[in-house]
Structure 1
Amino acid sequence: MKKLNLLILVLALSIGSAISAFAQPDAVDNETSVKAELQKMLEEPNFEVEGVYLANVVFTLNKDNEMVVLTVDSDNETVKAFVKQRLNYKKLKSQLDQNIKEYKLPVRIQA
């Protein structure tokens, strides 16, 4: 009887470990693909970059998986306009969690 209980316990732990191992890479891959998409959208600014510009972007997703930029917090007005132009109402290929109301994205633009 002890061997049967031990076997059931080992089997349950093995199944639990296997399930959790399969679930996590998808989340990491999704974050990586979203990051890559956003980096591609913000490549090659249409203004001359001198130094490093920082901005904090707050956006949400609509039902069509399009980003709606709510705010861009930056000291440089050109950077604000550039980020809004490149991200606002652009559709993401990757799926993000629709239950989250707002996403915060730090952006760094450098030469």
Structure 2
Amino acid sequence: MRNLKTVTVALALFATMSAFATKGKKATKATNLSGQIYEMLKDNRLNIEDSELTAEVRFIVTEKGELLVLSVETKDEIMEGFVKSRLNYKKVQLDNVAPGRVYEVPVRITA
């Protein structure tokens, strides 16, 4: 009787795991919003005195698919200007982005 319970539980786990293991589209950097932001910010010539700079960026996506930076919360003014210049009014290609919705993304640039 105990072996029957063990086998039943094992089959139930196997069925559950196989249901969640379906193949689906993986989000690539080209289709992911944060991946596109990464691509826009990756080539930089910032002179970083610390080992890294961090910022919290708030933005919306317009009807035309452009990023509109609302705020950049950081301690470094150079970082703020850099992020705004690289992201503001840049087009992104996404299907599932709600225009007008406020998004937040953390940004970290290391030396």
CA distance in 2, matches of 1:100, 1:30: 24
Paired position in structure 2 for 1:48: 47
| Mean Cα deviation higher: 62-71 or 31-40 | 31-40
| Mapping 1:1-12, distance limit 5 Å | none
Shift of 1:77: 0.1
1:57-96 per-residue CA deviation (whole Å, 9 max, x = no partner) reads 0000110010000000000000000000000000002234
Scaled by the length of structure 1, the TM-score of the pair is: 0.69
| Conserved 8 A contact 1:65-1:95 | no
Scaled by the length of structure 2, the TM-score of the pair is: 0.69
CA distance in 2, matches of 1:85, 1:96: 25
After superposition, the CA RMSD in angstroms is 2.7
1:56 is paired with a residue whose SS is strand
Paired position in structure 2 for 1:29: 27
1:103 is paired with a residue whose SS is strand
Paired position in structure 1 for 2:58: 58
Shift of 1:37: 1.4
Identical residues among aligned pairs (%): 30
Tell me which amino acid in the other structure corresponds to 1:61.
V
What is the number of residues matched between the two proteins?
92
| Conserved 8 A contact 1:56-1:107 | yes
Shift of 1:46: 3.2
| Mean Cα deviation higher: 47-56 or 28-37 | 28-37
Q: What are the ranges of 5 or more consecutive residues in structure 1 without an aligned counterpart?
A: 1-16
CA distance in 2, matches of 1:99, 1:47: 31
